[in-house]
Chain A
Amino acid sequence: MLDAGTTPLVQVEDLKMHFPIYTGLFRKHTGDVKAVDGVSFQIMAGQTLGLVGESGCGKSTVGRAMLRLYEPTAGRVLIGGEDVASLAPEALRKKRPTMQMVFQDPQASLNPRMTLSEIVSEPLDEHTDWSRDKKLERVYELMDQVGLNRRFVNRFPHEFSGGQRQRIGIARALALKPKFIVCDEPIAALDVSIQAQVVNLLEDLQAKLGLTYLFISHDLSMVRHLAQKVAVMYLGRIAELSPSKDLYARPLHPYAEALLSAVNEPDPELAARRNRIILKGDVPSPANPPKGCNFCSRCPKVMDICRQVKPDLAEVEPGRLVACHLYEPKTAAGSTGGPEAIELNQQGVNQ
């Protein structure tokens, strides 16, 4: 915990995950689904990065490719200084205990024929040569940590509620004392009153064990609660990567702005006052993304350049990375800075 927040534990550089499309009689390779197309970010030790976006934007694929559950097409994933993306199989196996995952659907990710103790100790069977007693001791310790009653140790998943099942999933992820955990929509399948229980548990564990999280979610208000930094993804690319408090106070990327405005606040007064940005249409297919900026087909502030050139993720304000032409310094005018460029554009939209 000493180095919390100062050194990155996880560094992702230009991660790409393309899934090939084969068509026709001879299964010819005719294209790629670019699920993740050049994503870079860092996560400081002991901190949480929120990864948000709509379904199909590639956020889960990022998490899975980082842990080598998929073989990434390109890019580097440094976890504790080692490049996971290029590790040889045996070295990767040795690395696995440091990086774990909590899955979305606790019903589907727990084997219905295994008891709680079998599920939670399976990683220990795989990665340690401990005796049975020692493993059971560790299972009890984990059950205490995640708030499961020790009496449940021989029960099967169907005997637990959704929230308890997610606790089992968390206990399993913690079994090998990992440093980094990818939480892939861990609360999406739970009821509102149970979500808070699991989120508080994740926070407690982070504080106690110094864990680093990648928290993947479509629930923007929960991400605001949990994460220090948030990356907003759209169609395989990061649109904006900002400190949480800046992003929620003033989103810079038009997509981030629209996404935040679409969130329903439980407050009728606010709902009546608020101006929603309603995006037209649907997310394009990642097999055939638009030329230029991925968001250009739905962007309310689209310009000509957006349809031609893909914007790069660049720092537009201290600590805030945005991939949008609105914030690029205009080279033609020489010294024209970002803010003036925005003004120009908004006028363009209003006309």
Chain B
Amino acid sequence: MADGAAPVLDVRGLKTVFRTRGGEIHAVNDVSFTLRPGELLGVVGESGSGKSVTMMSLLRLLPAPPADIRGGTAMLNGRDLLAMTDAELRATRGARVGFVFQDPMTSLNPVFTLGNQIMEPLITHKGMTKRQAETRAVELLDLVGIPDARRRLYQYPHQFSGGMRQRVMIAIALACDPDVLIADEPTTALDVTIQAQILELVKELRQKLGMAIIWITHDLGVIAGIADRVMVMYGGQVVEQAPVKELFANPQHPYTRALLQTIPRISGERSERLKVIEGQPPILTGPLTACPFRARCEYRHDACDAANPPRRAIDGRMVGEGHDVACHWHAPAKAEMANA
């Protein structure tokens, strides 16, 4: 998508730490990425990899304390989100950046009608009158494929099914025409057939509205079908980043490769035995001084214990633009892939 265009969102060196009684947890370690206009960036990782915390940090949605954003910049169309005053931030959340959360059951307020909740950002951010907001809310519900929108406006969240609620959440996030939509595991709580409906909806909306989307998920299958570019996170940092086809065809980081092999497929040859990534994800009690994946890595080497590998571009382009990987050994891994 739109290669070379100025990024909508440019995050550099983001670092978030949680201060807990048991010490500090370094949840996000020096994360940098860009989001170009109209692009869908997939963010993949296991629980605890820092993918949600990264996005929540951008909008300062984490309670502080315990969360503490230690460093970095996040330029949204030239303005630094992390340096904004509270008032500026309030004007940005919902208006310039929309957020869709994982669980549509808990992110809608059960005591207000849906109309109320969709109209709220329109009245606050856009200064619409109630009547204008109502008209817009009906348009939005139509847009996300909720039939009989006008009547539905006066219903409460419990009168909607899970898939319908997630459509409503998307409608709310889209209400103010945001520049960026951040979707945090939006389909994880849904059944596969409903998930397919939502994915189809998002594809349609992208064609119609052309906004840039960040899609957080642990499901590589979802990413394969929807993303333009993928960022793989592990241990609070970006370990690999590439265009979607490149990532699946030519994964470089041992973690990405192992992850792709652990999931059984629905077509093709049935694997006799699933490949396992032994061990557990790391607990990030201090700054990373070595590769976070080394304990579970097949290619562990002295260098992996000595230093945390920086992201390196492997296709001659700038880090963040083409294919880059944070691994001391991406070259041998590549050689072995060719042999396999």
Mark A residues whose CB is within 8 Å of B.
54-55, 161, 163, 191-197, 199-200, 203, 218, 220-222, 224-225, 245, 248, 258-272, 276, 278-279, 282
Contacts and interface: CB of A to CB of B under 8 A. Distances in A.
A298 to B, nearest CB: 8
Contacts of A263: 192, 221, 266
A55 B197 CA distance: 16
A195 B262 contact: yes
Given A248-B267, A263-B221, A266-B263, A200 B281 contact: no
Nearest to B271: A225
Contact of A197 (B194, B263, B276): B276
B339 interface: no
Given A264-B221, A268-B224, A271-B224, A221 B263 contact: yes
A265 B224 contact: yes
B225 A264 contact: yes
Given A54-B193, A163-B280, A265-B224, A196 B163 contact: no
Given A258-B193, A264-B224, A191 B260 contact: no
B149 interface: no
B47 interface: yes
Most buried by B among A54, A161, A191: A191
A245 B270 CA distance: 9
A288 to B, nearest CB: 14
Nearest to B247: A268
Contacts of B193: 54, 258-259, 262, 278-279
Interface in B182-238: 191-197, 199-200, 218-226
Contact of B218 (A191, A259, A268): A191
A145 to B, nearest CB: 17
Contacts, number: 121
Contacts of A270: 224, 267
A276 B46 CA distance: 27
Contact of B281 (A191, A203, A276, A282): A191
B107 to A, nearest CB: 19
Contacts of B264: 221-222, 224-225
5 contacts: A199-B274, A265-B267, A268-B224, A278-B196, A282-B164
A195 B276 CA distance: 9
- Interface pairs A-B: 6 shortest CB-CB: A264-B221, A271-B225, A54-B191, A225-B264, A262-B196, A266-B220
Contacts of B70: none
Given A224-B265, A262-B196, 19 more contacts: A193-B258, A193-B277, A195-B262, A200-B273, A200-B276, A203-B273, A220-B192, A221-B263, A224-B264, A225-B264, A263-B192, A264-B225, A269-B249, A270-B224, A271-B224, A276-B200, A278-B197, A278-B200, A279-B197
B248 interface: yes
A270 to B, nearest CB: 8
Given A193-B46, A220-B192, A265 B265 contact: yes
A279 to B, nearest CB: 5
Contacts of A54: 191-194
Contact-size category for B = 35 or more
A192 B277 CA distance: 9
A346 B286 CA distance: 62
Contacts of A163: 280
B122 interface: no
B77 interface: no
B185 to A, nearest CB: 13
Contacts of A248: 266-267
Nearest to B220: A266
Contacts of A271: 224-226
B43 to A, nearest CB: 15
Nearest to A225: B264
B259 interface: yes
A112 B299 CA distance: 38
Most buried by B among A54, A196, A248, A270: A196
B227 to A, nearest CB: 8
Contacts of B245: 268-269
Contacts of A199: 274
B317 interface: no
A258 B265 CA distance: 17
Contacts of A191: 46-47, 218, 281
A172 B226 CA distance: 41
B334 interface: no
Contacts of B274: 196, 199-200, 225
B244 interface: yes
B218 A192 contact: yes
Nearest to B48: A191
A259 to B, nearest CB: 6
Contacts of A195: 262
